[in-house]
Structure 1
Amino acid sequence: EKASGGSTFGDAPMVQSKSMSDKKWTAIQDLKPNLAGKEVLIRGYLQTTRLMGKGAFTLIRSSLYTAQGVCFESPTIPKEMVKYIGALPVESVVDVKGIVTVPNDPIDSATQKMVEIQISELYCVSKASPNLPFLMEDACRPDFEQEADVGAYTGEEVAAADGLVRVGQEMRLDHRWIDLRTPANQSIFRVESMVGTLFRECLIAKDFIEIHTPKLIGGSSEGGADIFELDYFGKPACLSMSPQLHKQITAACSGFERVFETGPVFRAENSNTRRHLCEFTGFDLEMAISEHYDEVLQVFSDLFIHIFDGLNTRCAAEIERVREQHPFEDLKYLRPTLKITYAEGCALLREAGIEQDDYEDLSTENEKKLGGIVKQKYDTDFFFMDKYPLSVRPFYTMPCPDNPKLSNSYDFFIRGQEILSGAQRVHDPDMILERAKALGIDVDESYVNSFRHGALPHGGGGIGLERVVMLFLGLPNIRKASWFPRDPKRLSP
């Protein structure tokens, strides 16, 4: 079928998988000077188009890469073709055929700076609405100043002092399909994908296996009121807050010993902050231990160092593209990971004149302050604390043998924010019931029974993927690290 405009330009017929041709496509990222003189065919979004005299200049984008195409009136290029290109709405999808040339000077507006396509044919595959909700240029503009990464989030936007137009977070989320096209977002989610790859890579090398546990459960997986309740064929049920109970059963009671899971986690917390979501991606692991929960902490230390090292080497280009729009300092971390006790952390706060009791939970504000103190004292953004007060931990947490007010639990922090919570678990059924009763929690009978037929001592933890990505990249809002965020006020798109 022919395009609507003519033999070399126009609206292409709809792609309906009618046939396969022998066309050879070139990825924009592969456009390099070694292709000079060769004809290529590319597809991408029309990021910009402008008419200059008898020519049209375009910038074509695919994922993170852009290339400039030019088209001038000539015996083979009718003026109607130039006008057609200049009139196309930006963000339309186009197919471009042309000869690759090497410009005299680098093209600063393109990632493929040392090539230019002399357009001979251009067809519009999918025409964008001429009235976009915002311009890509505005959506890509660098932050004027660094926002706080803690505190309330209202969605209200404050105009930057430089007077330039920027696209607000809520406007971005309302039209997420366009927002995700920016180089920064393309990079953020490639980094996030790599975190998953590195997570699996490290744990599989340590003999872990991946499990898949139900997200529809009876009652609450950890106790508490922050659950999404639903009717399950006339029975009360809820969305899982954690794979906690099932990962314990598989690791400690079913003989698998080392397990991990990646999947959605649901929290019905009416928290409108910069770091909370009602649905996020949990990266969980659970493992049998021989003598001490330090065995688990060593695995976590190795895991995070593997992830951080891997991101810095495999995603170096993506990290820089994020930094172009959202400036941040590289994450500092030690080998091995810095470990302090909860009491030592509280003491550091008090030494800095901040009130903090050894047996009271840390507030978000004090966690952030402690992160700054640790950075100044130890030159690291990443550390963990253990021996938390038993009163602030879940019922299945093993009490400390040396102090009944403490527990064999731990949290990991990046830039002063918690990204992992874990502990040695109680593997004795009578102690599980005792702890649950003390906290007023009704425990599922099958969970308790699973420990009555021989259970391995074990421990583990749960990681919030979006928070790890947010803090590794120094982003000011967890919504920037979530594909389609769900917070108390958002259920779409």
Structure 2
Amino acid sequence: MSSEPAPASASTEELEADLSAATISKKQLKKDARKAEKAGKASQRQQQQQPQAEEADLFAANYGDVPVEEIQSKAISGRSWTDIGDLDEAAAGRSVLIRGSAQTLRPVSKKMAFVVLRQSMSTVQCVLVASADAGVSTQMVRFATSLSKESIVDVEGVVTLPKEPLKATTQQVEIQVRKVYCINRAIPTLPINLEDAARSEAEFEKAEQNGEKLVRVLQDTRLNYRAIDLRTPANQAIFRIQCHVENKFREFLFSENFIGIHSPKLIGGSSEGGASVFKLEYNGQPACLAQSPQLYKQMSICGGFGRVFEVGPVFRAEKSNTHRHLCEFIGLDAEMEIKEHYFEVCDIIDGLFVAIFKHLNENCQKELETINRQYPFEPLKVKHYSLLSCVCYMYAFA
């Protein structure tokens, strides 16, 4: 009798094990079923999205980063480029190809974005709208807005007229983008923000009154990152004004029978007495940088040239270390023989300054206004009163 209960106990344990296994199997089956259901839904979503991705790939050639080797003078494409500054209402409806720096990137939605390109002093607004007819995909819109500021970008598109005047750009047209390529990506964070570098003193004062604090770009920072600082509208305009002054200086003196010369800048001794010079050694001999072309201008007059001028660098090692003293600058020099009276020189100087100021007022209004926004100044006003007449008047009533 002692051996009979054992089989009953074994039978009970086997039954419990079978029930437990059945329970685990049901749970596992449910878990596997849920996994399979999730995998099926994921596969279904992927299949639904795949046609869209394949459709977007049709426009992949319309945007992207251009490899360096593709822009290294491999071939001449013959494409016609348009300057941003030439885009006006007359260009409406025309397809154009432009290149500029990405100044502003403004996404509106997944299917729309605005990109402002800058070339020199001119800016234009480019519009990207996802559309199969335009060959623009949502990926293309996302690519454009992912560009970093100051990246160099090529844009192909159609010029259109905006419904309302544009306040943020110089050109009063828009470009409906069809293709956009990044030629050179700028680093994401630049050492200088152009908006900060282009602010006027009046803007800082207004912000201070309102309790706001604006970033001020100091001179040392500007010089350390000069290549970026030169992109500000005021600096662009200043260099253009400088070029116009130099060209008008030459043009006027040419009209007065002056001859342009180029004098040495590395000389054996000082060219003017009483002024400090930059001294150096050249092949064991003392030398210095020219303080002035004065001696060579006088030599030219004695040599029979009659009237000469020069545009060139001048070096002054002055001890006055202030922001108003320059150790190097570009000099506009002129020399002429006098027939009877020094009033002859006065007339030339009078006509020269009148010609330069008149030229700037007539041909450089855009540049003057740009400079005036950051560095306010009084308008250029000049009347052609002959210096000879003024001096004679002074002598008559002395």
Query: Normalised by the shorter chain, which TM-score bucket?
Result: 0.7 to 0.9
Q: Which letter maps to 2:252?
A: C
Q: Does 1:143 align with 2:201?
A: yes
Aligned match for 1:95, one of 123, 138, 154? 154
Does 2:306 match 1:306? no
Q: How does 1:34-73 map to 2 (within 5 A)?
A: 34-54=90-110, 55-73=112-130
**What is the Cα deviation at residue 244 of structure 1?**
0.6
Q: Deviations over 1:372-405 (max 9, x none)?
A: xxxxxxxxxxxxx9xxxxxxxxxxxxxxxxxxxx
Paired residue type of 1:121? K
CA RMSD of aligned residues (A): 2.3
Q: In structure 1, how many angstroms separate the alpha carbons of the residues matched to 2:344 and 2:159?
A: 57
The residue number in structure 2 matching 1:230 is 280
CA 128–270 in structure 1, closer or farther in 2 if over 3 Å, else same: farther
Where do residues 56-455 of structure 1 align in structure 2 (5 Å cutoff)?
56-75=113-132, 76-113=135-172, 115-144=173-202, 163-224=213-274, 226-251=276-301, 253-336=302-385
1:23 deviation in Å? 1.3
State the AA in 2 paired with 1:143. E
From 60, 66, 69, the counterpart of 1:6: 60
Query: What is residue 7 of structure 2 aligned with on the other side?
Result: none
* 1:250-285 C-alpha deviation (Å, 9 max, x unpaired): 01x100010000100001124333322111001101
Aligned equivalent of 1:25, options 81, 91, 98 = 81
Compared with structure 1, are the counterparts of its residues 203 and 223 closer, same or farther at alpha carbon in structure 2 (3 Å cutoff)? same
Check conservation: 2:316, 2:327, Cα contact below 8 A.
yes
Letter paired with 2:141: V
Q: Secondary structure at the match of 1:223?
A: coil
Aligned partners of 1:131, 1:119: CA distance in 2, in Å? 26
Q: Distance in 2 between matches of 1:166 and 1:74?
A: 42
Give the superposition deviation at 1:340: 12
What secondary structure does 2:201 align onto? coil
AA paired with 1:63?
A: S
Cα distance between partner residues in 1 of 2:246 and 2:381: 21
Give unmatched runs, 5+ long, in structure 1. Answer: 148-158, 342-384, 386-493
The corresponding residue for 2:5 is: none
Report the residue type matching 2:189 in the other structure.
Answer: N
Higher relative contact order (CA 8 A, sep 6+): 1
> How many Å apart are 1:338 and its aligned residue?
6.1
- 2:28 — aligned with what? none
Unaligned runs of 5+ in 2: 1-58
- 1:245 and 1:255 map into 2 onto residues whose CA distance is 15
1:224: how far off?
Answer: 3.1
Alpha-carbon spacing, 1:274–1:340, altered in 2? closer, same or farther (3 Å): farther
User: How far apart, in 2, do the equivalents of 1:283 and 1:80 lie?
Assistant: 55
**How far did residue 214 of structure 1 move?**
0.3
Q: Which deviations, in whole Å up to 9, do the C-alpha atoms of 1:181-207 show, x marking residues without a partner?
A: 111111111111000111011101110
With normalisation by structure 2, the TM-score equals 0.77
CA contact (8 A) 2:361 2:380 kept: no
- Asked whether the equivalents of residues 103 and 149 of structure 2 are also in contact (C-alpha less than 8 Å), the reply is yes
Change (3 A) 1:145 1:278: farther
Q: Does the aligned pair in 1 maintain the 2:346–2:387 contact within 8 Å?
A: no
Q: Which amino acid aligns with 2:270?
A: S
The change in CA–CA distance for 1:227 and 1:340 in structure 2 (over 3 A counts) is farther
Quick one: distance in 1 between partners of 2:320 and 2:238? 24
Contact 1:143 1:327 (8 Å CA) reproduced = no
Identical positions, percent: 52
Separation in 2 of the partners of 1:22 and 1:285?
A: 45
Aligned length: 325
Residue identity in the other structure for 1:72:
V
d(CA) in 2 for partners of 1:160, 1:46: 30
Distance in 2 between the 1:69 and 1:89 partners? 16
What is the deviation of 1:127? 1.1
CA contact (8 A) 2:350 2:387 kept: no
3-state SS in 2 of match to 1:333: coil
Taking the TM superposition and a 5 Å limit, the aligned residue runs for 1:464-479 are: none
Structure 1 residue 136, shift from structure 2 partner: 1.4
**CA positional deviation for 1:145:** 7.8
| Offset, 1:35 | 2.3
Kindly provide the amino acid, as one letter, of the partner of residue 191 in structure 2. P
Deviations 1:401-424 (A, max 9, x none): xxxxxxxxxxxxxxxxxxxxxxxx
Amino acid at match of 2:358: D
The answer (yes or no) to whether the contact 1:144–1:160 under 8 Å persists in 2 is: no
Tell me the secondary structure at the aligned position of residue 60 of structure 2: coil
